[in-house]
Amino acid sequence: MKKTILTGIKPTGQIHLGNYIGAIKPALELAVEEDYSPIYFVADYHGLTKTIDSEDFRSFSYGIAAAWLALGLNPEKTIFYRQSDVPEIFELNWILSCLASKGLMNRAHAYKAIADNNRKAQKDKDYGVNMGLYNYPILMAADILMFRTGIVPVGKDQIQHVEIARDIAESFNRKYGETFVLPDYNIQEDTAVLPGLDGRKMSKSYHNTIPIFSEQAKLRKLINKIKTDSLPPEVPKDPDKSTIFMLYKEFALPAEVESMRQQFLTGVGWGEAKGQLFHVMNRFLEQPRERYKELMENPETIDKVLKEGADKAREMSVPFLKEIKRKIGFYS
Ligand code: ADP
Ligand code: TRP
């Protein structure tokens, strides 16, 4: 039997190159493998735990959906929906809440990090924490368990959440009998953590991102902003320590990568290297950027795809929720 593979991205900013390399690209590669049934979604209710301006929330949500589609997700082969369009997830969220101990949530790292910082700043430990943020791992468990997920491809920071989903599933199964599949996470060890403009991990939180669908001129400008050292062109440079080279590798053909490596080793000017980086990145992004623009100008096309996806998801979630509720004793 095929294993269900499921992942979501929350709409809290514009999709950047790090999201593509670290999450979307590997997920799209797994989606075409024979052994998996892929389920990918826009985790909009998770995004809501960060209070965002309505206009931004709307545009980030559509932006994520459009990005997946523009970069190659095939909705015929992947169940693709908005989390908020599948109400059974939220019913399950409540059921799972009643099985999850508060202590488990106290130990969840996103909450714990905020509480620790608050303590250090001598503020109340719960300062700035809303209940959505606190319960975040339970909603994520509902996302995962609702679809009998076998594998969850995620970044390292999400491992604990998948473990929490497993713990909750085990508690349920012990109490009410075998019901949920215990999920495993899948970390792409070989996937680079893509550096941002300042050399730190590319992340919305550091404001150092290259939004993947930036217009050509903006893309060139952002690439020119990538921090480099002040070595003159003729001095040999270590390709493996360079943000420019790391980014180049992700978009260039093998022969181009080799040639760039040689140029680094014999000496290349940063302006020249950045020009070549722009060339390969733009070559790859040209078509997806057009498709993305088209989709964003026609949000009803995105709505239609997501609605169809939600209908397919609900073909599973409606009967499964009934089964779950029957086991608990809601009906005879
Ligand atoms: P951000 O750090 O910008 O807030 P998210 O936490 O929303 O990004 O990440 C969404 C997905 O993109 C996750 O699966 C995460 O592992 C991946 N990701 C984010 N930034 C990078 C990066 N710089 N390199 C590789 N993967 C990344
Ligand atoms: N918490 C994930 C993140 O921040 C997003 C997410 C929500 C998710 N529900 C999920 C990921 C279920 C995998 C499976 O990246």
The residue whose CA has the least distance to atom 9 of ligand 2 is: 140
pLDDT at 230 over 90: no
Determine the distance separating the centroid of ligand 2 and the alpha carbon of 159, expressed in angstroms.
10
Around Cβ 128, how many Cβ atoms within 10 Å? Answer: 11
pLDDT at 216 over 70: yes
Instruction: Name the closest ligand to CA 201.
Output: 1
Domains of the chain with CATH codes: 3-194+299-328 (3.40.50.620), 213-293 (1.10.240.10)
Of 154, 203, 247, the residue with max ligand 1 atoms within 8 A of its CB, to mutate for a pocket test, comes to 203
Name every residue whose Cβ is closer than 8 Å to that of residue 319 and which is 6 or more positions away in sequence: none
Of 10, 159, 204, the residue with max ligand 2 atoms within 8 A of its CB, to mutate for a pocket test, comes to 10
Q: What is the pLDDT of residues 36-54, one digit of tens each?
A: 999 999 999 999 998 789 9
Determine the distance separating the centroid of ligand 1 and the alpha carbon of 144, expressed in angstroms.
19
The residue whose CA has the least distance to atom 12 of ligand 1 is: 19
Q: What is the pLDDT of residues 100-159, one digit of tens each?
A: 999 999 999 989 999 999 999 999 999 999 999 999 999 999 999 999 999 999 888 899
- Per-residue confidence band for 80, with pLDDT thresholds at 50, 70 and 90: very high
Of 42, 79, 154, the residue with max ligand 2 atoms within 8 A of its CB, to mutate for a pocket test, comes to 154
Q: What phi and psi, each to the nearest 5 degrees, are found at residue 4? A: -80, 130
The confidence score (pLDDT) of residue 154 equals: 86
The residue whose CA has the least distance to atom 20 of ligand 1 is: 18
Instruction: Name the closest ligand to CA 27.
Output: 1
For the Cβ of 144 lying below 6 angstroms from any atom of ligand 2, the answer is: yes
Of 6, 9, 186, the residue with max ligand 2 atoms within 8 A of its CB, to mutate for a pocket test, comes to 9
The confidence score (pLDDT) of residue 155 equals: 81
Around Cβ 286, how many Cβ atoms within 10 Å? Answer: 11
Q: What is the pLDDT of residues 84-115, one digit of tens each?
A: 999 999 999 999 999 999 999 999 998 999 99
Buried b (16+ CB within 10 A) or exposed e, 207-240: ebbbbbbbeeeebbebbeebeeeeeeeeeebebe
Q: What is the pLDDT of residues 255-289, one digit of tens each?
A: 999 999 999 999 999 999 999 999 999 999 999 99
pLDDT at 191 over 80: no
Determine the distance separating the centroid of ligand 2 and the alpha carbon of 34, expressed in angstroms.
23
The residue assigned the tokens 């390969």 is 280
Q: What phi and psi, each to the nearest 5 degrees, are found at residue 214? A: -60, 145
Mean of all residue pLDDT scores within the chain: 95
Determine the distance separating the centroid of ligand 1 and the alpha carbon of 20, expressed in angstroms.
8
Q: List beta partners, residue 195.
A: 201
Instruction: Name the closest ligand to CA 200.
Output: 1
Closest CA to 321 of 96, 161, 66, 35: 96
Atom of ligand 1 nearest to the CA of 202: 23
Instruction: Name the closest ligand to CA 195.
Output: 1
Q: At what angle do helices 131-146 and 159-176 cross, to 10 degrees?
A: 70
Atom of ligand 2 nearest to the CA of 161: 1
Q: What mean pLDDT do residues 13-30 have?
A: 92
Widest pairwise Cα distance in the chain: 79
The confidence score (pLDDT) of residue 190 equals: 65
The residue whose CA has the least distance to atom 15 of ligand 2 is: 9
Instruction: Name the closest ligand to CA 204.
Output: 1
The confidence score (pLDDT) of residue 22 equals: 87
